[in-house]
Structure formats: structure tokens, C-alpha cells
Amino acid sequence: PMEAEAEARLLLQEARESIEAARSYRRELEQRLRGLHQARQQIRESATLTRDVLEQHFNDLKGTLKKLLDERLLSLLQEVDAIEQESIKPLDECQKLIEHGVSTADDLLREGESAVHGDVGQQNEKLCSFTKKALHIQLDSLPEVPSLVDVPCLSAQLDDCLLTILKNQIFRHGTVASHPPVQLEEFVEKPGGILVRWCKVDDDFVPQDYRLQYRKSTASHFEDVYVGSETEFIVLHIDPNVDYQFRVCARGDGRQEWSPWSVPQMGCTTLVPHEWTAGLEGYSLSSRRNIALRNDSQSCGVLYSKAPTYFCGQTLTFRQVLSVIETVGQPDRRDSLGVCVEQQNGFDSLQRDKAVCVSTNGAVFVNGKEMTNQLPAVTSGSTVTFDMEVVQLGPSSNEGGNFKIRVTISSNNREVVFDWVLDQCCVSLYFGCSFLYPGWKVLVF
């Protein structure tokens, strides 16, 4: 009896100690639950605050950068969600573990109290079972709960200088100019084209490049036709008797942006475009018939214009076009570029009567006779121009004719000037060309 009583007191003492340990364990678990709640609350509140700040910040900028800012906002919100979910996941797992521990502690408490206050006959057995279970549960083992300094505290880092930069850019964007630095100056009619000239009207403006645009009067959009350093340009492929609108701007030296546009002005040509005659076997023509290519045909002869569309007082230009062929055709002394009074078949060159021409080697022929003055040879990219002016009408016994035209032929910055005497009045002329070998490609305008 003495040993049984001692054993009972010992078991009772151990049971009471286990109950106290369970109470302490439960208090610690409840404290950790509160810490867990605070950690979760901090994450959620900071995430909510971060969302509010991000949404407010991006909403302030949506007026100008709505699409980009919405994409960035979505990315940041997803990052907040990802951090929030990743951070709360271990806390949820810890909570489940703690809640399981609380439930286990409650069961153990009920079992311990039942053993202590139960029937005397079954008390020892219950106390023994309870004590073993309490030892098995390891009441001194508590799950680790992170402190607030160890869990994420979300915030948004938003650089206000972005808005300042945008404001500065917006405030500097766009100018109002009452006098553009460049204005259109002159329109000169050309056959199927318009020579447009412009000038600088601002003495303080130093231009580097000019940009010329045009459109039909019925069109809605301008299109670029020239960008470069020259102050004039011949706009080709212009329909006769149709109004076109032109404007020009400039780019200052060392600058990237263009100046304001000049005042738009209307231009028009009444002159039909120059065209080569179609159907000559030795030549292929472009769709507009202003470019002629000497092909591989063995047939040769003079290719004339479709009509006498060259008038005295105008400038006629032949340009050797850069062809798909690597080099121009082989030159021959009989090659010719020039004008004539009338078409004459049966000749293989314009080096004949009633014609003025230049050979590809630079020789100048008047009425079939070679002059002593000579121009540079015609090569790929060369330009040959004819300018003619009537200087005398009526009889002239000294010259042997009654019609005199002053002719200026220019090529590669050199020119020849002479008087061409004819026995008939002629103010409109044909133009023509002849090449013995293939590969020559000539644009006329």
C-alpha cells in the first residue's frame, strides 16, 4: 500500500507538471498565432497600400502613357502578388502545424484532467497512459514562428523624377513660329515637271539640309520628293495643267529636328512631258517613255522625240542614268545627243544638217560640222543640258540665213556657246539620240 500510494502521488505530480507544460505550450502557440496574424496583416496591409500607391501613381500618368503604364502596373502588381503568396505560404503551413498542436494540447488536457479526477480504481492506469502520451507528444518542442523583421514588408519605390522628366519633355515639345526660316521662292515650268526653288529668310539660321514635299491638290498627305543641301530641285512626273502644293523645311547645322514648314504654295506646269518615240527596234523605253535604253539589237539609227516639244527659252537636259549594267556602252564617234529641226530617217547619227549634238567623246557638231571647242566625255551619271535663245529674225546676207539661235551646251561644269544659223524660223525642236553600242541609258527632261 505504501508503494502504491507513493507511485500514485508521483504519477499525479507528473500529470500536473504535464498539464502545466501543456498550458504553457498552448499559451506559446497562441502567442505565435498572434505573431502570425500580425505578420499576415502586415503583408496584406502593405500589399494593399502598395497597390493603392501604384494604382494612384500610374493613374496620374495614364493620360499620356496609358498603355505602357498599365503594362508596367500589371507587372508590379503581379510581383506584389507573387511575393505575398510566396511569403504567406510558409506562414499558412506553420499555422496549420500550430492549430494541430493546439488541438492535440486540448485533447491531452482533457485526458489529463479526466485521469486526475477519474475513479480511483482506474486512476493509475489512466495516469500512466496520459503520462506516456504527454512524453510522446514532446511538449517542449515548439514550431518556429518568424519575427516581424524577418517577414517581407512590401513597399513601392517610385521615382518622382520620371514625372519631372516627362513634364520637362512635354513643356519643351512643340514650338510656335510666325516666320519659318525657309520659304519657297520660285516655280519654273518644265515639260512634265516643275523646277522648285527656295531660299533662307532667317539670317541667323544655318541650314544643313533641306526637305521638299509635294502633293496633288486633291490629295490629303504630302510626300517627300527631295532631301539634300541644294536650294532647287526639278520635280518630275508632274501631270500637265494639274495643281500641286509644295512646302519646304530645313534642318539646322548639327541638329536632328526639322524646322517648321514654309507656307505651302501651289505650282503647275502647262508643258507636256518629253517623250521618246516608241517602236524603234534598237531602243527600249520606260513606262513614261522619258528613259531610253540602247538594247542588244543590231539595228541602229536615231531615236527622236515623239513631238517637237523643246522650245527656245527652255532648258533641255539629257542625263546618263546609272543602269543595271555595270558600265555604260562602249563609246563611238558617231554617238550623239542633241536637237534638230525635223526628223530625218536613214541617218545613224544627229551629226547632220539642221541639227546640233554632242558626241559621247565630248565633240560638238553643228549642222554636221565638228567645232573646235569640246566638252568632257559623257560617262555614267553625266548630265548634258541645251539652252537656246532666238537672237535674230529676218534676212541676214552676212550669215547666209535669216534665223539665228544662240546655243549653250553644258556638261560637267563646262559649257560651249555659239550661234546656230538656220534658213527657216523654228522655235520648237525635236530632240534625239543615237548610240552604236548597247548599254547607254538616257533620261530626258
d(CA 358, CA 370) in angstroms, rounded, equals 9
| Neighbouring C-beta atoms of residue 321, cutoff 10 Å | 17
Euclidean distance between CA atoms 445 and 317, whole angstroms: 5
Question: pLDDT at residue 354 above 80?
Answer: yes
Contacts of residue 170, Cβ cutoff 8 Å, sequence gap at least 6: 64
CB of 268 closer than 8 Å to CB of 241 = yes
What is the Cα–Cα distance from 298 to 436, expressed in whole angstroms? 9
User: What percent of the chain has a predicted confidence (pLDDT) above 70?
Assistant: 87
Please give the grid coordinates belonging to residue 50.
Answer: 502598395
pLDDT grade, residue 327 (50/70/90)?
very low
| pLDDT score, position 174 | 53
What does 132-158 look like in DSSP terms, one character per residue?
Answer: HHHHHHTTT-------TTTS-------
pLDDT number for residue 28: 87
Q: What is the pLDDT of residues 48-69, one digit of tens each?
A: 765 676 577 556 656 666 777 7
Which CATH topology does 182-269 take?
Immunoglobulin-like (2.60.40)
Residue 163 pLDDT = 77
Distances in Å between the Cα of 386 and the Cα atoms of 213, 228, 341, 418 are 28, 25, 14, 12
Write out the three cell numbers for 363.
565633240
- Say whether pLDDT at 85 is over 50: yes
> What is residue 246's predicted lDDT score, i.e. its pLDDT?
96
What cell was used for 262? 514654309
Query: Would you say the C-alpha torsion 126, 127, 131, 137 has a positive or negative sign?
Result: positive
Q: What kind and span of H or E run contains 216?
A: strand 207-216
Task: Please compute the mean of the pLDDT values over residues 153-160 and round it to a whole number.
Answer: 84
The most confident of the ranges 90-104, 136-150, 231-245, 316-330 is 231-245
Q: Which residue's entry shows cell 525635223?
A: 342
Q: How far apart are the first and last CA of the chain?
A: 137
How confident is the model over 379-433, as pLDDT tens digits?
888 899 999 998 876 554 444 457 889 999 999 889 999 999 888 888 889 999 9
**Using CA atoms, how far apart are residues 326 and 323, in angstroms rounded to an integer?**
7
88-92, 146-150, 348-352, 392-396: which has the minimum mean pLDDT?
A: 392-396
Instruction: Please classify residue 431 by burial: count the beta carbons closer than 10 Å to its beta carbon, then call 0-12 exposed, 13-18 middle and 19+ buried.
Output: buried
Residue 305 pLDDT level (bands cut at 50, 70, 90): very high
Q: Of 32, 6, 14, 30, which is closest to residue 134 (Cα–Cα)?
A: 14
Q: Closest by alpha carbon to 275, among 346, 193, 191, 210?
A: 191
* 166 phi and psi angles, rounded to 5 deg: -60, -45
Q: What is the pLDDT of residue 375?
A: 93
| 115-123, Cβ contacts within 8 angstroms, sequence gap of 24 or more | 115/15, 116/12, 116/15, 116/16, 116/19, 123/8
Residue of higher predicted confidence among 387 and 177: 387
Residue ranges covered by each domain of the chain: 20-172, 182-269, 283-444
* Model pLDDT, residue 399: 47
* Residue 229, CA atoms < 13 Å, CB-side half-sphere: 3
- Please, which pLDDT band fits residue 342 given cuts at 50, 70 and 90? very high
Q: All 3 cell numbers of residue 369?
A: 560640222
Say if residue 252's pLDDT is above 50. yes
For the packed helices 120-137 and 2-116, what is the interaxial angle rounded to 10 degrees?
Answer: 70
What distance in Å separates the CA atoms of residue 75 and residue 80, rounded to the nearest whole number?
Answer: 9
Only one residue has cell 518622382, namely 160
For 180, phi then psi, to 5°, come to -60, 150
> What would the mean pLDDT of 100-108 be, rounded to a whole number?
81
Count Cα atoms within 13 angstroms, Cβ side, for 33: 14
pLDDT at 397: 43
Pairing mode of beta strands 207-216, 223-228: antiparallel
Question: Are both 182-269 and 283-444 of the same fold?
Answer: no
Which amino acid is present at 215?
R
Which pLDDT does position 188 carry in this prediction?
92
Lowest mean pLDDT among 110-119, 242-251, 391-400: 391-400
Helical (H) or strand (E) element with 94: helix 2-116
Cell numbers standing for residue 439: 548599254
Task: Characterize the bridge pairing of strands 265-267 and 414-422.
Answer: unpaired
Contact between 300 and 348 under an 8 Å Cβ cutoff? The reply is: yes
CA nearest neighbour of 386 among 439, 429, 325, 339: 339
Say which CATH class 283-444 falls into.
Answer: mainly beta
Report pLDDT for 356: 95
Name the band, by pLDDT with cuts 50, 70 and 90, for residue 70.
Answer: confident
Task: Provide the mean pLDDT of the chain.
Answer: 84
